[in-house]
Structure 1
């Protein structure tokens, strides 16, 4: 879960996640929304993949990236449980 928090701590990666909410995209499609190099985009995508926040799949010659909402939901549930346990202590 630490990888998830690290992955979403960066504003560029959060913007990538926001873009992927609209559907699958290639790295090139994603890169068009940023003013940084394609290798930098690839680096951010790899961090998100390692955290399993996104996944990739090949269609022909292109690799498409998809949002993995299950991992994000699990992290949110953990945070909510953590917060709720704190409320019980009051």
Structure 2
């Protein structure tokens, strides 16, 4: 799967789009993200791994926590690609 395909595939899921919207506000730990969903931690982990594999998010460890942030360079590349498709 190409990089662009993995990004569009990752964004196709509404839960992952919600995660992206939450991260627009700033970095969040897994527990902060989980407060917004009714599914298991394993399901949230799966969604975060898909976003990470598509390079839409970055993760860092802070002691025992994993902190997620948007990877704005990839977001900007995708915005440029979409703009080029339509203009």
Gaps of 5+ in 2: none
2: CA distance, partners of 1:59 / 1:42: 17
Gaps of 5+ in 1: 85-90
CA RMSD of aligned residues (A): 0.8
TM-score by length of 1: 0.89
Task: Specify the structure having the higher radius of gyration (Cα).
Answer: 1
For 1:27-51, what per-residue CA distance to the aligned partner results, in whole angstroms no more than 9, with x for missing partners? Answer: 1110110011110000000000000
Q: Paired residue for 1:41?
A: 44
After TM superposition, the structure 1 stretch with the greater mean CA deviation from structure 2, 45-54 or 56-65, is 56-65
Offset, 1:82:
1.6
Matched, 1:61 2:59: no
User: Which stretches of structure 1, 4 residues or more, deviate above 2 A after TM superposition?
Assistant: none
Q: Paired residue for 1:13?
A: 16
Match of 1:25 among 16, 20, 28: 28
